[in-house]
Structure 1
């Protein structure tokens, strides 16, 4: 046997043994979502799967409807007496640490239906959880185009977090499958993902050893970097959004985010829906001690400002004519009964009380100015998407 063939056989045997050992001794991963080359990620349709949350320290039943969105199914066509709200976002909205009724969408539906507006008597509100863990604003645009618009929402709320600007950019992140870019003509276009890359990723995800070693290696790298930094926590790329002196890459990422939101505005306007953008009140915006910790750990403390990304987002919405809902973090700071009241461990995702605060603010805004019903048919909604974005697959 040739030396190269012998070495190749040895490598195959070693990898096969490692794969077998991983399957025998490592706990199987809980898969809640499946890859989708049209929208990036969506939940396995029509399933309910138990998920143990390390944040809430309990097992949550994650229910997905036939569209691959978290929560129950929604009738199509939409009943005449229903006002339907879609909430797009990432893990802050998907909220795997909470039950359906504790999530923002569940609490919003409860508030809206308990406090009906006199001008809309007999109206029933439905609030759809369209959050997907790890999704970017670009993926949320794709999800709206391919899935959400067919459910005929009257209101679309985009809950933006600091990570989104980073995840939208090819220069700053390699996480999302679905991406958009600004081409040489200055137009927003969808970046097609190569079938070879998708196939390679699918094959790698079949390997339990690959998934296991990837998580362990990433954790080891973080620990090594923390040791080099003298025990300080490594600053995540999302914290780039907090630097007031923006690099060219960050400026381009914000420009791209602006164009994506503007495209979403155009899409919702064509569908007769109202678009609202809100900045998720993350822990560093609410708790001064955590904000100060991140500022000290930043490579440029004098440039670190936790309010900077929200100011940027507000400017983007003003320029694009998008309704922006301000003051969410301020509301939480004013309502603080105790430290770390609204986020898990004072640093994590929003807990049930945090979702309640957000639900009160958003529901109050909708009750103050109820949306008008859309007269667009489902066929009109599906065919009205611009050809350039429909064809960029």
Structure 2
């Protein structure tokens, strides 16, 4: 059974962020395991852990990830990936992933993960994708049995530092009728530009398969350019460092006036979605140029300028977070109202890799859900 999600109330109302219908675009499967599950699975394979107490282990992940460095942050995944090397364990982790998101009010999510990292137990690439899809479907049935609904699509991910991206792209397309809705590329960003994976991106484009690319997190504007023009990215994984292309020109008592560089203007005008993950961006140092507190995060700047911002968790275990918590933290930092949060969710719905009719239905479900909650709170 999942641990009950911590409840976060919208300031000045009886509405909880948890009850708001939400869309999750950027959430890693291997970054969302329950600490108790890690303890149990590690014991079966004889894997030594920093602690076998779930609460202490959860604290260890959060403390270790709070490093100010993306490579150090990524090192915490050695443990979670180690317990995800069998079909049984992949099914279980994916099943729990779905129910945990539903407990947080998510009605649609895209789960990203790298099949090439789950082969040491003897499974093939196709078998690991099938195992995760089985877990997703069981979890979806669990949610439906509880009187709720959720839909999950897989984002099959290649690792930037390996040479398997074309093979992983072919895998993703091969499973487009078996739950895979898009392709991603992740891992240490600096030194591994999207241009090194042109064969994969060419293949995906020729097969009309959508991509999101991690960029503008561990590296800057050149990485974002590569994601857009080499990777043909429809969304930017994080993309927060697009703010480096925004210059403050002057400020008076009423407003701050800025100018956008060509790249920032392109991202804004083309409505390329930013998969922002506030807590994670602080942990990895992605926003260090602006400060080390959430109020320093350029999220609000990007929102006020009209960029397509969305709110994500990145890795719920490493950041000890949920989308509801991220929404509450942003509200504390920037005084957002319920209408702002509806915009964030509608932005996310429009950016999903679903067919357009399904995106429209999802947007209607979000608006209807917000309206119903507001009516009940009056």
TM-score (norm. length: structure 2): 0.30
TM-score (norm. length: structure 1): 0.29
